[in-house]
Amino acid sequence: MSAAVAAAAAAASSCYSSRTTSSRSQNQYQYQHQHHSVLSSLPASSPSPPLVLPSFSRYETQKRRDWNTFLQYLRNHRPPLALSRCSSAHVLEFLKYLDQFGKTKVHAQNCPFFGHHQAPAPCPCPIRQAWGSLDALIGRLRAAFEENGGRPETNPFGGPAVRLYLKEIRDEQSKARGIVYEKKKRKKGENNLG
């Protein structure tokens, strides 16, 4: 079989090296004939299934993106920080760093629009990340940390300081923006398993 493949390759190279039109068409015919005979001499096998790349859900895609963003933050940290040395304090720094990319207006107490969800006019109050976005982000990063070999007991995204920070942000934003975040109540029939 290798001799046939070598012959097909030789025919193909001679096909392209010819300069005249008649010899080119003759060589092409020979190449096609030899190529067909090589393919027909191969043993028939069942067709291989098409290559299927894993498709990720929107959540998985976002989790990967968030994880890569956090790792990039650690690399850019001064001095650069290894994931193994990352603590809840570094997670809080990261969350505060993200505020510069936020889109949620959080009114200060002395702002005339404090407690209003939709301000009727512009004000100089800061724009920050919304509490719901931060809460979801921390959930994805907690999962990604453990999926990438981290132990649950050393997960910096699940530390008490991070939970307290998120609670403070939720309370601050709910007062400043006039939004009430209510804890989901369990139905009567549900067991409280934890």
Q: What is the pLDDT of residue 117?
A: 75
CA-wise closest residue to 120 among 105, 132, 103: 105
Q: pLDDT, tens digit, for every residue of 117-158?
A: 777 788 888 889 999 999 999 999 999 999 999 999 999 999
Provide the pLDDT for residue 194.
44
pLDDT at 62 over 50: yes
Q: Give pTM, 2 decimals.
A: 0.62
pLDDT given for residue 164 in this prediction: 96
Amino acid of residue 134: L
CA distances from 111 to 107, 108, 120, 170 (A): 6, 5, 12, 19
C-alpha–C-alpha distance, residues 5 and 26, integer Å: 19
Q: How many CA atoms lie within 13 A of 79 on its CB side?
A: 2
